[in-house]
């Protein structure tokens, strides 16, 4: 039981490049979410999903796409990276109220 896994751990992109941050969980959780963490701003919700095929926007969705084709995976796509997207990204999954488990994070730098 690996919990919530995220890949890669670190990534450097150039402005305009695209990439996908991977998130997977093996707890059969319906609810998954993506947050970004910036200094002095805490964590902010980007997108979330309440089950396969269902996604919705959070507080800061612009510049990010998500899809949920399986219960296990919830990838986050940056279509055209911008320096403002330099951040640490956390994926989380939840099996019910008060049970959110966070992954170890992906540190992204956009030059």
Partner 1 sequence: AQSVTQPDIHITVSEGASLELRCNYSYGATPYLFWYVQSPGQGLQLLLKYFSGDTLVQGIKGFEAEFKRSQSSFNLRKPSVHWSDAAEYFCAVGEETRGNEKLTFGTGTRLTIIP
58 binds partner 1 (CB under 8 A): yes
Cβ of residue 18: shortest distance to partner 1, in angstroms? 25
Stretch that binds partner 1, among 14-22, 61-69, 74-82, 91-99 (CB under 8 A): 91-99
Closer residue to partner 1 in complex, CB, 17/61: 61
Partner residues linked to 39 by β-bridges: none
Q: Is the peptide bond before 8 cis (omega within 30 degrees of 0)?
A: yes
d(CA 97, CA 82): 34
Half-sphere CA count of 16, side-chain side, radius 13 A: 0
Q: What are phi and psi of 10, to 5 degrees?
A: -135, 145
Cβ of residue 85: shortest distance to partner 1, in angstroms? 19
Binding residues for partner 1 (CB under 8 A): 30-31, 33, 35, 40-45, 48, 50, 58-59, 90, 94, 96-98, 100, 102-105
């Amino acid at each position: 039981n690996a919990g919530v896994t995220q890949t890669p751990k670190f990534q450097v992109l150039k402005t305009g490049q695209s990439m996908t941050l991977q998130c997977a969980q093996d707890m059969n959780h319906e609810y998954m979410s993506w947050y970004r963490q910036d200094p002095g701003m805490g964590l902010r919700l980007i997108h979330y999903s309440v089950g396969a095929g269902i996604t919705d926007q959070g507080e800061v969705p612009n510049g990010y796409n998500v899809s949920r084709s399986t219960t296990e995976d919830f990838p986050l796509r940056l279509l055209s990276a911008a320096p403002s997207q330099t951040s640490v990204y956390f994926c989380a999954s939840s099996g019910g109220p008060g049970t959110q488990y966070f992954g170890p994070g992906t540190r992204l730098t956009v030059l």
